[in-house]
Amino acid sequence: MEELREIVREVWGYDEFRPLQAEAIDAVINHRDSVVVLPTGGGKSLCFQAPALSMPGTAVVVSPLIALMHDQVDALVEAGVAAAYVNSTLTPDERRRAAEDVRSGRTKLLYLSPERLTTDRTLDFLQTVQPSFFAIDEAHCISEWGHDFRPEYRMLGMLKERFPDTAVHAYTATATARVRQDIVRELHLRDPVIHVGSFDRPNLVYRAERRAGKFEQVRAVVERHPDESGVVYCMRRADVEETCAALVELGHSALPYHAGLPDDVRRRNQDAFIKDRCKIMVATVAFGMGIDKSNVRYVVHAAAPKSLEAYQQESGRAGRDGLEAECCLFYSGADFQTWRKFQEELPPEAAGAAAALLDGMERYATGLTCRHRSLVEYFGQSLPGDNCQACDVCLEEVELADDSLKTAQKIISCVARLRESYGGDYTAQVLVGSREQRILEKGHDKLSTFGLLEAHDKRQVRDWIEQLVGQGYLVKGGEYGVLQITAEGREVLGGGVEPRLAKPTARSGRGERTTRKKTAKAAEQSWEGVDRGLFDALRTWRRAKADERGLPPFIIFGDAVLRDLARYRPSAADGLLHIRGMGQKKGREYGEELLALIVGYCREEGKSTDVEA
């Protein structure tokens, strides 16, 4: 392990391991099968990349996407590691050279897709070289209960048959207990070590708002992050095209990505985003799995996804470098209705499981409890402390209604008077005193709860109903989402429990919330002491260097390294060694240019160099 610490220090420039990395590495060097669940940005790749350098032979890494293979191999080679991939982009001569490098032992990490790995030709070749171990990245794809099931991953179970004495390690960012069990079973792992890190991402600021119009809320987020990379997820292809066109018209650098585009266009657009030639990717969920871009500063969901697993994975593409990032969800009741219609086409068992996942997503969106707490509790963990200081609820951006208890009692009483036989829309109409013909025909205008909330518009009452569902005081049942009162809801009627209901939110002329967004603690800490002008100069240098080498800028250096350079402003080579993430090879290769830039900037601006840590 001490040898590995030295490797990590030399290659990646880190002096210590992140939580669970040492334990995960220990399983690899002791040839124990393992399942490792670490959040995006938690350093999963290091858990297999570092031990591969200390073990004889070649480690085989299973990766689901060509783009991800390219990024990871480019980053390893840039750091001085002998790594390679074999996929359809290589010529026959290049594939032969790659095979020779593996056979000779020169290659330490070989990246393959599951389809290529499980061919007889590849398996026969690997049996002649005996891999040091197998690492399965994005391992949740193995499980049909995961959010991104891929049938080709199921074939990986044959590895234990063909290589009975070689350890297999599975890595993922999101896996419930059920998914973890499925991974162990499908890969035929033997007495595996299972490590599950915290699902919390304290550097992410979560916000959830009911959607008001199609575009203005998205626009507001984009404009909070000028010249920064972001992803905007839409439910439909048409929404992708419309949103992208609107952003471009406003002068933003945006490109679309969805399954309806030709393959070459999708590849070109993704490459432009990865290499910072385009700042905003507007996409369906067809985009993103395995994207290794570390400097995404915001992820917007313009509609609710179908599960919290999907939301955790997609929003988790923000802030992979550990710096602050914003995750905004704009939802509407129509989103959940759309997903429920899709579920009608599924077999009964799958439809039931999908409905439970969607209910979890709806509770998160409409709930008024800490977003970080809601996410980690969904995955069976707990969050210490009372205030995360990194979500709209804890930052007190969501104002609570003045008399939540009385309002909730009126709503739940109305559900009771309607004999728990109607959905949210109809219940809201009764509460606001609608004279719609159906209400009059049924005599519901004679109910004691008719018009009890006539001072509010139907949309707000509908929101409150969803918030009560999200907090577990009401549930939706049957095909039509009929409202029913839970045991906790009956306690509300007796005054024993007080729900939290949001105050109606005033909106500006453009449809944006007028509530001012607060600065999260993570953002304050990550910028503390950073000279912004020097950071921008370093970003410009990085972009030019990346273009020169044909690499994504984050592979040259991540934003965290640039901020530390702009914080401590080293003037000599020794100072570079104290910058976290500055490996020795990169220090030798880029040190002279970086030091010249830093010293020159400080001289011009009258700033001191070599700031004490």
Residue 527 to residues 80, 289, 324, Cα–Cα distance (Å): 30, 29, 9
pLDDT recorded at residue 66: 82
pLDDT recorded at residue 508: 43
CA-CA distance, 274 to 261, in Å (whole number)? Answer: 18
More confident residue, 114 or 509: 114
Task: Kindly state the average pLDDT of the residues 27-52.
Answer: 93
Task: Kindly state the average pLDDT of the residues 224-246.
Answer: 96
More confident residue, 196 or 509: 196
Which class does domain 529-605 fall in? mainly alpha
Q: What are phi and psi of 500, to 5 degrees?
A: -110, 120
CA-CA distance, 154 to 148, in Å (whole number)? Answer: 13
Provide the residue ranges of all domains of the chain, joining segments of one domain with +.
Answer: 2-196, 204-378, 404-493, 529-605
- Sign of the CA dihedral running 441, 445, 451, 452: negative
pLDDT recorded at residue 537: 97
Residues contacting 417, CB < 8 A, separation 6+: 447, 448, 449
- CB 189 within 8 Å of CB 170: yes
Task: Kindly state the average pLDDT of the residues 120-127.
Answer: 94
State which CATH number among 3.40.50.300, 3.60.40.10, 3.30.530.20, 3.40.30.10 fits the domain covering 2-196.
Answer: 3.40.50.300
pLDDT recorded at residue 163: 96
What digits encode the pLDDT tens for the residues 464-523?
Answer: 998 898 788 999 887 678 999 999 999 999 999 999 898 865 554 444 444 557 666 677
pLDDT recorded at residue 250: 96
User: What amino acid is encoded at 29 in this protein?
Assistant: I
Residues contacting 225, CB < 8 A, separation 6+: 297, 298, 326
Look up tokens 């002649």; give the residue. 128
203 Cα distance to chain centroid: 12
State which CATH number among 3.40.470.10, 3.40.50.300, 3.40.190.170, 3.20.20.70 fits the domain covering 204-378.
Answer: 3.40.50.300
Q: Which two tokens stand for residue 55?
A: 């073990």
The H-or-E segment that residue 299 falls in is strand 296-301
**pLDDT class of 289 with cuts at 50, 70, 90:** low
pLDDT recorded at residue 511: 40
pLDDT at position 43 over 70 = yes
Task: Kindly state the average pLDDT of the residues 371-380.
Answer: 90
Q: Which two tokens stand for residue 206?
A: 């979560």
pLDDT recorded at residue 518: 65
126 Cα distance to chain centroid: 34
CA-CA distance, 329 to 376, in Å (whole number)? Answer: 17
Q: What value does the mean pLDDT of the chain take?
A: 90
* Percentage of the chain lying above the pLDDT 70 cut: 96
Task: Kindly state the average pLDDT of the residues 394-423.
Answer: 93
pLDDT recorded at residue 509: 40
pLDDT recorded at residue 67: 79
> What residues form DSSP beta bridges with 330?
209
Name the nearest CA neighbour of 378 among 155, 134, 147: 147
Q: Do domains 404-493 and 529-605 have the same CATH topology?
A: no
Look up tokens 């719609």; give the residue. 436
CA-CA distance, 494 to 496, in Å (whole number)? Answer: 6
Task: Kindly state the average pLDDT of the residues 69-77.
Answer: 91
pLDDT at position 365 over 70 = yes
CATH of domain 404-493: 1.10.10.10
* Percentage of the chain lying above the pLDDT 90 cut: 69
Task: Kindly state the average pLDDT of the residues 176-205.
Answer: 92
Name the nearest CA neighbour of 53 among 33, 37, 36, 29: 29
pLDDT recorded at residue 290: 57
Task: Kindly state the average pLDDT of the residues 544-571.
Answer: 94
pLDDT recorded at residue 48: 97
CA-CA distance, 50 to 28, in Å (whole number)? Answer: 10
Q: What are phi and psi of 600, to 5 degrees?
A: -65, -45
189 Cα distance to chain centroid: 27
pLDDT recorded at residue 506: 52
